[in-house]
Amino acid sequence: MPILTSVKKLKPGMVLDQNVVNGVTVLLKYGITLTPEHIDSLLGKIPNKKVRIVDSALDEIVTFQDDSRDQDISQIIRSEAAKLFTRTSRMVRPGMPLYSKDCAPVLKGVYQLIDTMGSCPVKAALIDEGADLAEHTANVFYLCVAIGYSLRNYMRNERHRLSYANYIKNAMDLKPLATAAMFHDIGLVPIWPQINKPEKLTREEIRLIRQHPKTSADMLPDTIHPLTRQAVLMHHENHDSSGYPQRMEKNKINVLAKVIRVADAFSAAITSRSYRPAKTPIEALYEMAYGKCRQYYDTKILRILSTIIQPIPIGAKLKLKSGLYAVVTKHTYKEPFNPEIVIAFDKEGNPLPTARITGPFPLQTLKRTGVESFDGKDISYINGISKFMIPKTSDIEINHKYREILDLVYP
Ligand SMILES: [Fe+2]
Ligand SMILES: [Fe+2]
């Protein structure tokens, strides 16, 4: 049985239930028994993270969904995507387009990754922080392809509606989307060190950032698919016409750009920056659906994201309003805030006697009590949200208590 344990609470002798990763890098493999040296190393690299630890006592009583395959596939795809991006970024010369023959191996790699993901469908698309541009791109790439596979029918209809279908031999082809995801921020490469700083951005830096969709699109080689170039150019356009660089109306935004917009915002939100902390996936998803920027996103695409990311991880120890603790045993497809739980710990967090363990049942069946917090952070705002519904404006006021979450936005 895996229990998510914060790195600061690890003790020698504990056994890892899951690979420990930092971005796209595996730090320690599952099955390892932790030594003081391992723990020191993790404290140095990822002091604020949680890792999954085997809890053999409860393992015999409770069955957990095994998502190790989902984790592994995500890791493989994202680390390969990060390598492809790094390879591309070495070819970047400010103000110069990339050459198509130089990009050919990158495109080949992109197509292979699409095929790999097609042949290994995942139940949950699990990602980690995207601290540098390569890791961020890898996250966006992975989420876009995962959304793409879930959304092919919708995208086909949109393409026909916007009469782009004649560009496409196979309207279900994910190559233009995946390629656009790979290159979407390529124009940020020359300015990335300059814009990631604790100090306020200068006017010139803001101008350069707002220019990057165009810079990226202009850098693409001549032979790139027209839809790819368009998606890169439009990836910061918003559904409410507040985006950049062109403040486009939603009906004119390329659907591939809308997919990148959603994946990009989620990856950015869960990543810490020098000027703000990372949000948890629960906060990020809640904010994207209920926060003041919810009008930025295509509702359909956001809903697809919500079905595949599983924001409350297996092994999470949740504090309930009753004071008892429950552990997440299974993801519930299409209901991101309603995982299956088992109530297995008393009010002090110690294991309950076997006879008093209850569950598994979906979290949202605890109608009267509900959940209070996860890892000391209030998450009671998810009580009552089982099916993921994007609310009407009037519903938002109910959640005003959580303004500090809803206002932390990534533009
Ligand atoms: Fe961007
Ligand atoms: Fe991005």
User: Which among 285, 289, 291, 308 has a CA at the least distance from the CA of 299?
Assistant: 289
Q: Residue 194 in contact with residue 181, Cβ under 8 Å? A: no
Q: What is the pLDDT of residues 231-252, one digit of tens each?
A: 999 999 999 998 999 999 999 9
Q: What is the pLDDT of residues 38-66, one digit of tens each?
A: 999 999 888 888 888 888 777 778 888 88
Q: What is the whole-number distance in angstroms between the Cα of residue 337 and the centre of ligand 1?
A: 28
Q: What is the whole-number distance in angstroms between the Cα of residue 322 and the centre of ligand 1?
A: 43
CATH code 3.90.105 region(s) in the chain: 1-60
Q: What is the whole-number distance in angstroms between the Cα of residue 365 and the centre of ligand 2?
A: 37
pLDDT of residue 333 exceeding 90: no
Cα 240 from Cα 292, distance rounded (Å): 12
pTM: 0.87
Q: What is the whole-number distance in angstroms between the Cα of residue 338 and the centre of ligand 2?
A: 29
**Ligand found nearest the CA of 265:** 2
Q: What is the whole-number distance in angstroms between the Cα of residue 94 and the centre of ligand 2?
A: 18
Q: Which of 4-8, 87-91, 179-183, 385-389 has the lowest mean pLDDT?
A: 385-389
Q: What is the whole-number distance in angstroms between the Cα of residue 371 and the centre of ligand 2?
A: 33
DSSP per-residue letters across 187-206? GGGGGHHHH-SSSPPPHHHH
Q: Which helix (H) or strand (E) holds 81?
A: helix 68-89
Q: What is the DSSP code (8-state) at residue 332? A: -
Look at residue 307 in the predicted model and tell me its pLDDT: 86
- Which range of 23-32, 127-136, 212-221 scores highest in mean pLDDT? It is 212-221
pLDDT of residue 169 exceeding 70: no
Q: What is the DSSP code (8-state) at residue 99? A: P
User: Which among 117, 28, 129, 31 has a CA at the least distance from the CA of 80?
Assistant: 117
As a whole number, mean pLDDT of residues 203-207 equals 88
DSSP per-residue letters across 171-184? TT--HHHHHHHHHT
The neighbouring-strand residues paired with 378 are 373
User: Which among 318, 383, 315 has a CA at the least distance from the CA of 349?
Assistant: 318
Q: What is the whole-number distance in angstroms between the Cα of residue 63 and the centre of ligand 1?
A: 41
Cα 116 from Cα 141, distance rounded (Å): 13
As a whole number, mean pLDDT of residues 296-301 equals 90
pLDDT of residue 172 exceeding 80: no
Q: Which residues have beta carbons under 5 A from ligand 2 (an ion)?
A: 185, 264
**Ligand found nearest the CA of 268:** 2
User: Which among 150, 311, 159, 184 has a CA at the least distance from the CA of 260?
Assistant: 184
Class of domain 68-278: mainly alpha
Q: What is the whole-number distance in angstroms between the Cα of residue 244 and the centre of ligand 2?
A: 13
Q: What is the whole-number distance in angstroms between the Cα of residue 199 and the centre of ligand 2?
A: 21
Tell me the Cα Rg of the chain: 22
pLDDT of residue 81 exceeding 80: yes
As a whole number, mean pLDDT of residues 135-163 equals 80
Look at residue 245 in the predicted model and tell me its pLDDT: 92
Cα 281 from Cα 269, distance rounded (Å): 8
Q: What is the pLDDT of residues 265-278, one digit of tens each?
A: 999 999 887 777 88
pLDDT of residue 82 exceeding 90: yes
Q: What is the pLDDT of residues 97-114, one digit of tens each?
A: 999 999 999 999 999 999
Q: What is the whole-number distance in angstroms between the Cα of residue 403 and the centre of ligand 1?
A: 26
The neighbouring-strand residues paired with 6 are 50
Cα 3 from Cα 11, distance rounded (Å): 13
Cα 316 from Cα 4, distance rounded (Å): 5
- More confident site: 50 or 142: 142
User: What is the architecture of the domain spanning 1-60?
Assistant: Alpha-Beta Complex (3.90)
CA 282 to the chain's CA centroid: 10
Look at residue 199 in the predicted model and tell me its pLDDT: 82
pLDDT of residue 148 exceeding 80: yes
Q: What is the whole-number distance in angstroms between the Cα of residue 329 and the centre of ligand 2?
A: 32
Helical pair 68-89 and 133-150, crossing angle rounded to 10 deg: 130
Q: What is the pLDDT of residues 354-396, one digit of tens each?
A: 899 998 999 998 877 899 999 889 999 888 887 666 555 445 4
**Ligand found nearest the CA of 235:** 1
Look at residue 80 in the predicted model and tell me its pLDDT: 96
**Ligand found nearest the CA of 191:** 1
Look at residue 228 in the predicted model and tell me its pLDDT: 96
Look at residue 134 in the predicted model and tell me its pLDDT: 95
Residue % of the chain over a pLDDT of 90: 47
Cis peptide before 360 (omega within 30 of 0): yes
Q: What is the whole-number distance in angstroms between the Cα of residue 267 and the centre of ligand 1?
A: 11
CATH code 1.10.3210.10 region(s) in the chain: 68-278
**Ligand found nearest the CA of 211:** 1
Look at residue 168 in the predicted model and tell me its pLDDT: 44
- Which range of 199-203, 279-283, 289-293 scores highest in mean pLDDT? It is 279-283
